[in-house]
A and B are shown apart, each in its own frame.
Chain A
């Protein structure tokens, strides 16, 4: 069975290539040394302490939370409304509008960043939270549209028609039927929007001032200028948050599935 063995070896090596880097960075968050290398001399929480007490890092975490929440709210509202509008198949230019909604995912961030800086400078919005939230929303909104459109496509329209025929107003149909059915899609869209904002560096580089430094932006300059295990501690938080959010999404989905 040499073929089977080759396949097994190839698959294992690729899985190692995909996963090992993510695992390798985790223990370094707990090093007591000032350099980011193995072997780890002894364990300590000093870099987490640094993360939450050093001014630059603490401010970056707070900024990330402010900007991430703003982006999530704006992108989810705009994206959900737009996805509901896109359900109407009779609409002219439905395909083109949909393409426009998804295009921010495709355009290189640097290109958008240059344009955004020129434009926001004209409005006096550079170096402001509003500017950064707007920029992040542009790139986060496609994820909401994709996620909510997918959830809406799974809804049996006869359920809504039935509610309507029983005398429910359009608003009631939306509130009592459509929204609960689409909620998992809306929630995962919101999570994706938050994650996009959390991870966004390039637009932030162009649009944000020193007072809006986000965690990702701070990590970027820290890797560039003076790399320290604080990076690994931040990465640990990122990965832990990813896993936590993933668990929440999976749990809420299975709970919703049980309700039906």
Chain B
């Protein structure tokens, strides 16, 4: 009994360091990304007095003197220009006109020789409840704005969810494009990978080793090296265009790089091993005498293939396809280097929001969409591979 307990204790002690490390530097970052996407404190942290006063407002009547005084106090207390800019941007996205209104108001408040009596005397727009409503709504620390915007939805004035106008609907286009490119790559990988795995499984000796080695060598090579290699092959004066021109197949160079064709070719090359290996391992478990048995019972080779080999190997095709698809939707490097502006996938947009425009809310929201899609697909994959008869 004590021996068993000390063994369990030892195992836990061994598991703990990595567990703590991953909770701290893997789970926590993902959570902080999610919380970024729903947190909305740009307005709240600058307007503490207004928050108290606005809680008692009925959201319809014109602003009371107390509300104006509180907001004036808050705005006077702001000394961080960047935080002020963040707040104005946030308010302007809820109600256009805030940018000019705030600019005018802060200038007037800064004028100490001739202090304004109240906000309405600075600008009559402060009489309108709509502007106060925008502030009141922006005071909530949580928002679904970013998550909705990630799939091109927004809330109208009444708070109902509706589609954003077409000129603001960019994310859905990119999501559809991401899934479409991933689907095309998966399809290309399946078309090449399935027959390839079948041929490899039917061979033996050095021929099989050669076919497997050809799959493993790219897998072990740096992704960046492979992308650089495709860059060199596909460019306008690259090897492929030169070769085709030399043998006289084309007159002018084909556009192969910075477009969809290049992205699909390079991604298929990078992900093909993930299709071949699962199919190959499933094919190995199928008894060799099944096809001759079907033939001896009078089945045409094609019929034997369709009714015997294909259904048995389908699980390998499914796991391979899921693996390729999951990897493809998160791809960043290959589209960034080989694709044009019209081939950027969701990862590029996330990177743009995060590093380009420091919009962590939107980066987090799109990250959540990608993360959820990936984890859903992975759970299907994990179930598929857990059912493998050889594993248990």
Contact = CB atoms under 8 A, between A and B. Distances in A.
A110 B347 contact: yes
Interface stretch (B65-73, B138-146, B292-300, B370-378): B370-378
A245 to B, nearest CB: 9
A111 B330 contact: yes
A206 B360 contact: no
A14 B218 CA distance: 12
A10 B195 contact: yes
A199 B18 contact: no
Interface string A17-38: 1111110110010000000111
A65 interface: no
Interface in B343-392: 347, 350-351, 354-355, 360, 363-364, 367, 370-371, 374-375, 378, 382
A95 B228 CA distance: 39
Q: Is the interface of A mostly helix, strand, loop or mixed?
A: helix
Size bin of chain A's contact surface: 35 or more
B33 A97 contact: no
A161 interface: no
A114 B225 contact: no
Contact residues of B: prevailing secondary structure: helix
Interface string A207-242: 000000000100110011001000110010011001
Nearest to B35: A118
Contacts of A166: none
Contacts of A183: none
B214 A85 contact: no
A28 B237 CA distance: 14
A196 B332 CA distance: 16
Contact of B231 (A87, A106, A227): A227
A111 B350 contact: yes
A67 interface: no
A18 B333 contact: no
A173 to B, nearest CB: 12
B116 interface: no
Interface residues of B, number: 79
Contacts of B27: 100
B10 interface: yes
A202 B22 CA distance: 19
B239 A38 contact: yes
Contacts of A19: 214, 217-218
Q: Which of B13, B22, B220 has the most CB atoms of chain A within a 10 A radius of its CB? A: B22
14 contacts: A7-B199, A18-B218, A21-B233, A22-B226, A24-B239, A25-B232, A78-B18, A88-B7, A110-B367, A114-B33, A114-B363, A115-B33, A115-B367, A219-B224
Given A18-B217, A111-B350, 4 more contacts: A81-B14, A90-B7, A202-B332, A235-B228
Interface of A: 7, 10-11, 14-15, 17-22, 24-25, 28, 36-38, 77-79, 81-82, 84-88, 90-91, 97, 99-101, 103-104, 106-119, 122, 134-135, 137-138, 141, 145, 170, 195, 198-199, 201-202, 205-206, 216, 219-220, 223-224, 227, 231-232, 235, 238-239, 242, 246
The 9 closest A-B pairs by CB, nearest first: A108-B330, A115-B29, A85-B14, A85-B15, A115-B33, A88-B11, A82-B18, A21-B229, A110-B347
